[in-house]
Chains A and B, each alone.
Chain A
Amino acid sequence: GIQVEQSPPDLILQEGANSTLRCNFSDSVNNLQWFHQNPWGQLINLFYIPSGTKQNGRLSATTVATERYSLLYISSSQTTDSGVYFCAVEGTSGTYKYIFGTGTRLKVLA
């Protein structure tokens, strides 16, 4: 099945810093989403981005499907950005389910 790798596994930032999170996947995908799991365990949809670039406030994401990766950019980080960021992909070969990466654990220090 499709493999999803995220990097870095852990990241510590000072408030106000910028960061880039990466998601590599091993096969062609129909769909890709980025989620933020906050410290209370809730999964929050950030981007539905099978291809192209999207922006939402301080966050933006780019997926280059032909090269099998996606990037999540966080600018001017805040302590509320802390948590785990997951990339999830749905392959093209009739799987009809999303496979999650292992996540990037982000801690933003005040």
Chain B
Amino acid sequence: NAGVMQNPRHLVRRRGQEARLRCSPMKGHSHVYWYRQLPEEGLKFMVYLQKENIIDESGMPKERFSAEFPKEGPSILRIQQVVRGDSAAYFCASSPSGAATNTGELFFGEGSRLTVL
């Protein structure tokens, strides 16, 4: 399957723990986007990354959230000291192009569903 791969699909954490969500883009794609979907709501942009660079993090909460896309390996969305309000589905998307051209078509993974107890 050459699609966007996310893991884990489901993650349960207690308040105060850390959550790490991983995303491997489609083959040939070097641009990764993270979106959050709260229950019964639409998708909200969080962050746009290229390899080793954060291009736009305007949708990321200022505290506890961070993202990276290293030269080797998947993109990671990290949430420290989770709270109940972090419970949501986190979707990763990739595209073949990004800044300096236009984004092109986005392809989404199946999402990671975080539940905070």
Partners in one complex: yes
- Chain B positions within 8 Å of A, measured between CB atoms, are 33, 35, 41-45, 48, 55-56, 89, 91, 98-99, 102-108, 110-111, 113
Asked, given contacts A41-B89, A41-B111, A42-B110, whether A101 binds B42 with beta carbons under 8 Å apart, the answer is yes
Contact yes or no, B107 A45, CB < 8 A: yes
| A30, A35, A43: residue with the most chain B Cβ atoms closer than 10 Å | A43
Decide yes or no: A33 and B89 within 8 Å by CB, A41-B110, A86-B42 being known contacts.
Answer: no
Residues in chain A near residue B35, CB distance under 8 A: 100
The proximity string for A residues 1-38 relative to B, scoring 1 for CB distances below 8 Å and 0 otherwise, is: 00000000000000000000000000000110101000
Over the window 94-109 of chain A, the binary record of Cβ atoms lying under 8 Å from chain B Cβ atoms (1 yes, 0 no) is: 1111111111000000
> Whole-angstrom distance between the alpha carbons of A73 and B25 in the complex?
30
Interface residues of A in 67-110 (CB under 8 A from B): 86, 88, 90, 94-103
State the 9 A-B residue pairs at the shortest beta-carbon distance, nearest first: A43-B108, A30-B102, A48-B105, A100-B43, A100-B42, A102-B42, A96-B99, A97-B45, A90-B103
| Interface size class of chain A, counting residues whose CB lies under 8 Å from the partner chain | 20 to 34
For the complex formed, measure the closest distance between the CB of A25 and the CB atoms of chain B, giving whole angstroms. 14
Instruction: With CB as the reference atom, state the residue of chain B lying closest to A4.
Output: B42
Residues of B close to A94: CB separation below 8 A: 99
Q: Is the CB of A97 within 8 A of B56?
A: yes
Since A45-B106, A97-B48 are in contact, a sample of 10 more A-B pairs with Cβ atoms closer than 8 Å, ordered by chain A residue number, is: A41-B89, A96-B102, A97-B33, A98-B33, A98-B103, A98-B106, A100-B43, A101-B42, A102-B42, A103-B42
CB closest chain-A residue, reference B97: A96
A45 to B35, CA, bound (A): 16
Which residues of chain B are within 8 angstroms of A42 by Cβ–Cβ distance? 110-111
Contact B55 A96, beta carbon cutoff 8 Å: yes
Min CB distance, B51 to chain A, in Å?
15
Could you tell me the distance in whole angstroms from the C-beta of B101 to the nearest C-beta in chain A?
Answer: 9
Query: Nearest Cβ in chain B — how far from A68, in angstroms?
Result: 17
